[in-house]
Amino acid sequence: MRLTVIGAGPGGYETAVAAAKKGMDVTIVSMGPLGGTCLNEGCIPTKCLCRSAEVVSTLREAEAFGATDVSFGFDLTAAMARKDEVVGNLRSGVEFLLKNPHITLLYGKASIAGPNAVRVELAEGGETVVESDYIIIATGSESAFLPIPGADKCITSREMLSLTSIPSSLAIIGGGVIGLEFASIFAAFGTTVTVVEYCKNILPRFDEDLSKRLKQSLSKKGISIITSAEVTAVSDDGRKVSFLQKGKPSEVEADMVLMAVGRRPRLETLNLEEAGIAFTRRGVTVNGYMQTSVPSIYAIGDVTGGMMLAHAATFQGLRALNHILAGQPAEGPVDGIRLDVVPAAVFTSPEAAMVGLTEAECEAKGIAVKCLKSFFRANGKALSLGEPDGFCKLIVAEEDEKILGCHLFGAHAADIVQEATVLIHRGATLPEFREVIHAHPTLGEVLQEAARS
């Protein structure tokens, strides 16, 4: 059986490797460096800078932990070099994974040439057509821009990751994951940061309680956050953001402006309409098996316009592969993957994370719930770390006491949420979770304290 994968991000390359292990002959087409956005200009490089910011913040607060006469400088160039080294090492790892006799790697721009054919304009010149039994589209996404005057004067996350000097001030359009992570990073580096968000809360897709509390926490760290603000223009010199708040015009000036209003799927070069593949401006249309309107063609990850997360793309790829291996048309479950239970994390300072349903989503679905909360300031490990800021909120169904959602911010929230993910995936109830013994003192106890509240 032959498979062609378009895109070599986490969803694409991990699916290719998994298919090769199953004995399939795989061709994978990469339009850029292996690893896609996540590895090269997203998840990994930003986490490297998050770590640099964390070290700087720790040194700044060292006296509180008994360290005296601590002085230090910060070299952004060195931090960027470390980031590049980490990215390079991981990219080499992907290259090694793809050195499989069942995998052929091509570099170039791919488009659908038929239900079983992909045309590739090779980066080295020339063109080839790859024939296969199945095709998986995993072309990812790119930075989105507001349709406003001066939008082209803004920088994106890509340029932020290659800065050679620290701006004295930074205006960020968008209070989502990307905007807030860069806000935390550069605030720690000493930049005066202002975030301008259209919605009434930052992180609009997160639980409202979490968003409000995180805003307070970030504000205490010196980040100015303006919500319910409609950005109308960016000045020609890219140093001024104009916006309306409650109908009143206002503006923010900064050394540079970051456009961080989300990402849009890469669709333009795929030849979708001519190939008969259904799509909207939000992404390729797929069913529960990640199958498009053309049965032999699947789409996974950001290009589908759903949860734009690397780990979601990986498991969507496994779902598509499992459906292919099950034989078409498969009916019913082909695996135990729950694509409705996908954790998400924001690497601000402190971190935020969520999994499952929010309180508002439960209300919209007519699900009666109770909300249980606990606070990091009552957690021994958090206090010993000097990280008392944070809270945990569990969403539990009234009817059967199943745990439906978990929302938290605080130290290592991105790690803590994994336990809640397992609980929700397995359909655990509140009484069952209360009986699970947790090590003391650990940050994970905030989950159990919420369950007992």
Of 256, 251, 259, 257, whose CA–CA distance to 229 is shortest? Answer: 251
DSSP secondary structure string, 295-356? TTEEE-GGGGTS---HHHHHHHHHHHHHHHHH-SSP-S-SSS--TT---EEE-SSSEEEEEE
- Separation between Cα atoms, residue 310 and residue 343, nearest integer Å: 11
Q: Is 340 exposed, middle or buried (0-12, 13-18, 19+ CB in 10 A)?
A: exposed
- Separation between Cα atoms, residue 164 and residue 90, nearest integer Å: 23
Residues belonging to the active site? 440
Phi/psi zone of residue 136: left (φ > 0), alpha (ψ -120 to 50 degrees), beta?
beta
Which amino acid is present at 230? E
CB 131, CB 2: distance < 8 Å: yes
CB 296, CB 329: distance < 8 Å: no
With vertex at residue 171, the alpha carbon angle to CA 168 and CA 172, rounded to the nearest 5 degrees, is 130
Q: What is the end-to-end Cα distance of the chain in Å, rounded?
A: 54
β-bridge pairing 2-6 and 25-30: parallel
Q: Which residues contact 421 (CB under 8 A, 6 or more apart)?
A: 341, 343, 355, 406
- Separation between Cα atoms, residue 325 and residue 335, nearest integer Å: 11
CB 31, CB 139: distance < 8 Å: yes
